[in-house]
Amino acid sequence: APGGTPGSGGTGDGTGGTSGSSGGSSGGGPIPMDTGAQSTSAAANQQTAINMIIKEFPQWNNTADINALKALWNRESGWSNTAENAGSGAFGIAQALPPGKMPLAAQPTSMGGSANAMAQIQWGLQYIQGRYGSPTAAWAHEESAGWY
Structure confidence by residue, pLDDT tens digits, 59-110: 999 999 999 999 999 999 999 999 999 999 999 999 999 999 999 999 999 9
Task: Give the number of other CB atoms < 10 A from CB of residue 66.
Answer: 18
pLDDT over 70 for what percent of the chain? Answer: 75
31, pLDDT greater than 60: no
Phi, psi (deg, nearest 5) at residue 96: -70, 135
Mean pLDDT, residues 29-33 taken together? 53
Give the CA angle between residues 40, 42, 47 to the nearest 5°.
95
Residues 6+ apart with CB under 8 A from 123: 94, 96, 101, 102, 103, 106
What is the value of pTM for the model shown? 0.78
Alpha helices in 8-62 (DSSP H): 42-56
Give the span between the Cα atoms of 109 and 65, in whole angstroms: 31
What value does the mean pLDDT of the chain take?
83
